[in-house]
Amino acid sequence: MPIIITTLQKFPFVSGQLMKMAEERGEGKSYLPTRKYAVIIDEAHSSQSGETATELKGVLAGAELIKKAREAAQEDGEVDLERLFRSMAKRGRQPNMSFFAFTATPKHKTLAIFGRDGEPSHRYTMRQAIEEGFIEDVLKSYVTYKTYYRLTKKAEDDPNVERKRAARALARFMRLHPHNIGQKTEVMVEHFYQHTRHKIGGHAKGMVVTGSRLEAVRYKLEFDRYISEKGYPIKSLVAFSGTVEDDKVPEKTYTEVEMNDGVRERELPETFAKTDYRVLLVAEKYQTGFDQPLLHTMYVDKRLAGIQAVQTLSRLNRTHPLKDDTFVLDFVNDPEEIQEAFRQYYDGSVIGEDVDPDRLYEVKAELDETGIYLQTEVDEFSHIFFAPKRRQSPTDHKNMNAILDQAVARFIDLQNDEEEEAELWRGKVQALRNLYSFLSQVIPYQDSDLEKLFTYLRHLALKLPKRKSGPGYQFDEEVDLAYYRLQKISEGSINLSEGYAKPLDGPREVGSGMVREENVTLSKLIDLINERFGGELTEADQLFFDQLSEAASQNETLRKAAGVNSLDKFQLVFRQVLESLFIERMELNEELFSDYMSKPELQEVISKWLGSQVYNNLVNRSNSPSGD
């Protein structure tokens, strides 16, 4: 019995080669004989619901799948479109194939596709693996820092800026600021030198997780400078893809190989394993699948959430005979959010609400009614694409592109007239593709019109013009960093035995039409950011807000408003009530009351934050069985 080890990405190639071999031999058969297969899949949460996974089933299903597709085509009276029905048939479960799928971090679709009624055949949980000593508890020693800072506008003019884009640009200005990079580098290097390097018999290593390739470059340069200045016996490596340009250093580019003194990409894991190299700085690399038992400490300067948080921090969980603990120093994330992410997998994941199959037809109807494409165009495209031959000719490609170009032209017209509507439509195209790709593996739709539309939209999406980028901002000449403080705010373990795990729900959202934010002056935006990051709430402030929230939740006007309005409309009512609540309680926190009444931007922040909190509380109460 042969055992074949391969990657999923080879199966589209195998499918094409079978057709090519059949043509060369003058045979009609472009498929394998039907045999029984056991397919063992590692990391089953990844890439198992897309077109490549479907090709695997198409190749291994063999002659039986071809027979079924031929029969379905004859029943529908579309004998010339047998390839269409073959494409449909290979999406579902195949009777000659058994799948044995392994993953530590399943998604909803993983349990739906490989589970039995949404349940795995067997669970070996994170809790059990930690208790039995097969992996380390990476949350046992977790320290968080918070950055407080204040920006000032140094330019004389005060331009109007698009709020969200400008806020992102200011955040980037702060993350890449030399003082921020320098202060965090000092904290990390000193911690590593004083503590980590002595762990695991003096062989412990560290990883720095950065938020972008440019941040990785800047950190690598600063690490090397600081280590050299101190004379510490520490060598670092950096991992990022492609070539990075830094606008602060014109005509200079950076690559991973060049910054690592010639170490090639495939050699990096082996090089990092050597005694000399102690710290690895990464940007979107080595955050999954990287196996280095000597990795003891992780320094996180990147927003992590959900499965990404679990996979990234789990790089520390490999055991070693001399390894008795791990350590995380996090500059960005809230420990409660990290706890929530890990809780989903600690005692084994539970599947949540399934996707409503009818939603697929609802999205299709919403796309149809816009008139961006016509059903006749979808049919014409499909008759060429699924024609009974191995590959399309240049003429076929020309004709298919001509058909797609008609819809592209209509989309461009919509984009020019109603940009938000165009982006909402684009989002629905992606939603239909995702829903069909997933649902067709668990539900036997047998709807050739859906398969035609799915194939058509896959190709149309590639030709649609990109979203208009809007203004870009660089504030290096307009903004100064006036104040900076890096402070440790928590230290200890993150307890996974507390709280509850959220179920893994299926996809719900279908895209957003919001592409433009309102304009504000640069000075106002800086003030707003300073309000958020220039200081911290005291316990008295937090208690005051808790009291406001509770009082608002008991307000009859707000109860009624939450029951019949969306959040946006509820906020209008809440703003009026909130001012009254502030005035009634002004003596409890006069300083906060004074700030609130005198700063409109702070009013907006507090109103939106508390309003959303109160609205959710009221809606949840009204929806609960007891009504409270």
259-315 pLDDT, tens digit each? 999 999 999 999 999 999 999 999 988 887 789 999 999 999 999 988 889 999 999
What are the residue ranges spanned by the domains of the chain? 8-102, 132-346, 358-442, 537-628
Nearest to 387 by CA among 20, 89, 82, 17: 82
3-state helix, strand, coil in the chain (%, to 5): 55, 15, 35
List all residues 6 or more positions away from 145 whose beta carbon is below 8 Å from its beta carbon: 187, 329, 330, 331, 486, 487, 488, 489
Q: In this structure, which long-range contacts are made by residues 577-584, counting pairs with CB atoms below 8 Å and at least 24 apart in sequence?
A: 577/552, 578/548, 578/552, 578/606, 578/607, 578/610, 578/611, 581/548, 581/551, 581/552, 582/548
65: left (phi over 0), alpha (psi -120 to 50) or beta: alpha
Architecture of domain 132-346: 3-Layer(aba) Sandwich (3.40)
Which residues pair with residue 491 across a beta bridge? 143
Tokens read off for 8? 């999923």
pLDDT tens-digit map of 413-431: 998 888 888 988 998 998 8
Residue 505: count of CB within 10 angstroms of its CB: 12
369: left (phi over 0), alpha (psi -120 to 50) or beta: alpha
Can you tell me the distance from the alpha carbon of 462 to that of 348, in angstroms, rounded to the nearest whole number? 38
Can you tell me the distance from the alpha carbon of 372 to that of 251, in angstroms, rounded to the nearest whole number? 44
pLDDT tens-digit map of 181-225: 999 999 999 999 999 999 999 999 999 999 999 999 999 999 999
Which residues pair with residue 39 across a beta bridge? 99
pLDDT tens-digit map of 339-393: 988 988 888 777 666 777 888 889 999 999 999 999 999 999 999 988 876 556 7
Sign of the four-CA dihedral 154, 158, 159, 161: positive
Can you tell me the distance from the alpha carbon of 286 to that of 289, in angstroms, rounded to the nearest whole number? 7
Tokens read off for 131? 């208790």
Can you tell me the distance from the alpha carbon of 201 to that of 320, in angstroms, rounded to the nearest whole number? 10
Single pTM value for the model: 0.71
